[in-house]
Structure 1
Amino acid sequence: MHSRYSDRPNEWILRRIGAPECFVEPRVVYDRAMAHGMDFVTISDHNVIDGALEIADLPNTFISCEVTTTFPENGAKLHILVSGITEAQFDMIDRLRENVYELREYLNEQDIITTLAHPLFLVNHNLTIEQFEKTLILFDRFEIVNGTRDPRAGRLVAAVLEGLTPDIMAQLIDKHDIAPNGPNPHRKVFTGGSDDHSGVYIGSAHTVTPHAATVEDYLDHLRYGRCEQAGKSGTSVHLAHCFYTIAYGYYKQRFLGNNDATNSLLGAMFRRILEPKKPEPSRLSVRHHVRKHIARYVWRQRKKSMSDTERLL
């Protein structure tokens, strides 16, 4: 989940209008997540931890970040989630993130919980097939359910990961000359996350574990693979709704300040898009009701002229 500190959007439409990626206050993120039944809450803003730090004094929270890292050979970018980190660890992560190989080495040294977010989402369209193969060696956790992305992408990644064998991984390791993370690199862990930027779909996708009494217990479950994805992936409608919500927030902040948006034409347009409409009866439903009442009336009139035997039949 994201907060207002994710202020540099990756989506072209938000960059085009100059809007930040999110307007939701960290405390609002926390309250809505808890209201939706989450036991533990973290905020994973892009390349900053300010949002997570702002709620760090609240119960059952931990510091996380969605880090943009780069393959140095061609500049292809990935988003990885680092969970349960300290401020000092984040400072080092931020320094190393321009090189995914150096960053992965540090994350392993520190035993930091690392997940490849939305694996098939092309951050800057430079990712090659060979580099996707490398991600299968570099990472053990993969986000399969993303609350704002098409579920078909997650199912495809899951099928690839479930088809990995020791022999396949040995071939990939030899081909790319990258050391695996452990003795069983073909065994991958699946996670879920809402990836919400609008405050509308907080907690829609998440990661579940066995019972965890504390944050440390929950993080240990993640670290050792005792977890699974849960919730629902997004749709194009969800994503569009997020964009409109962010654009409306940007419009109010940028052009209206503290003034009311209800009297503006653009504000009315956004409200029409974002607010649920009251259902109106369709012509078909009206026609159906008319026919039903006419049929009942005709039946009552016919019934009056029937004998007792006819009525019984």
Structure 2
Amino acid sequence: MRRLTLSPLPARRSSAWPAAAVWPAAVAGTIALSLTGESAAHAAPPAPALTTTPPVPRTVGAPIAVAKAVATAVTASTYTVQPGDTVWAIARARGLDPAAVAAANGLGADAMIRPGQVLALTAAAAAPTAPAPAPAPAPATTTHEVRPGDTVSAIARANGVSLDAVLSANGLTRASIIYPGDILRIPSGTDSGAPAPAALPAATAPGLDAEQSENARLIIRVGRELGVSDRGIVIALGTAMQESWLRNLDWGDRDSLGLFQQRPSAGWGTPEQIRDPERSTRVFYGGAGDPNGAATRGLLDIPGWETLPYPDAAQAVQISAYPDRYAQWEQPATTWLAVLG
């Protein structure tokens, strides 16, 4: 009888195969084919007949061939092992967890699988996927309805947030004007949000510098809040220009002070009150919102003021020694309102 001498296989494992595949099925198949000349007593048992298409040749480093073999031999719940298969390759080709496939078939970490072996796949868990990141919570906001006399800075301060945060949340700049009835979004005190955009330089009106334009905006804003008509605002702008050059002066004729050169001795308020430009503007307009009440008479308190000639309406409030001088500011004040208001 002819004896076949087998040389020991080199102890090498391809890095393309997991550690669990100590003896790949392809090697076992090669040994079985080499022993076909032996007697029946020494021959390797024949591999079970396959019910699927012939096995696809296994080429190391060719995962596409393995995937095709897997796809050919898979049924709904089981898989018949082909030469060259590993648990890892079978599981990954079906999107399953290799450890779950091994556990479902009672295989250990170093277990071998052989061609023709049937593996159960039903109980195998799908390969874990990374959870989707939770959506960022929406920043908490409240709202505030603007009331007469409100300013953005006062609203921000009352809600414990920065002026820039309120401006940014509402698409405003420091030059913006708010009106009674406007609804402002107020970000929460802990919501940093996006940084507020840098405020653009405040626009100036023709013939006015930055300080004068800022005071003109204040006169316009207060007039809007009080519901004063455009003509009334134009009268206030021209009056302030004639009296103080639209500057909040700390001096004047005798004890006159501020934007409208109001006099403490005539009952218009204390020097500190008169030097408050917003308060002095409200006093000039008068009406129901006059901080002085009935102690002084503002524009809205003059009967028929809207039908009076421009200089006469201003003079009715100011009682100036030079009443005709107000007339020169009617047209410029109209332009300032159009540009700034």
Q: Which has the higher helix share?
A: 1
Indicate the structure (1 or 2) with the bigger Cα radius of gyration.
Answer: 2
Normalized against structure 1, the TM-score is what? Answer: 0.23
Normalized against structure 2, the TM-score is what? Answer: 0.21
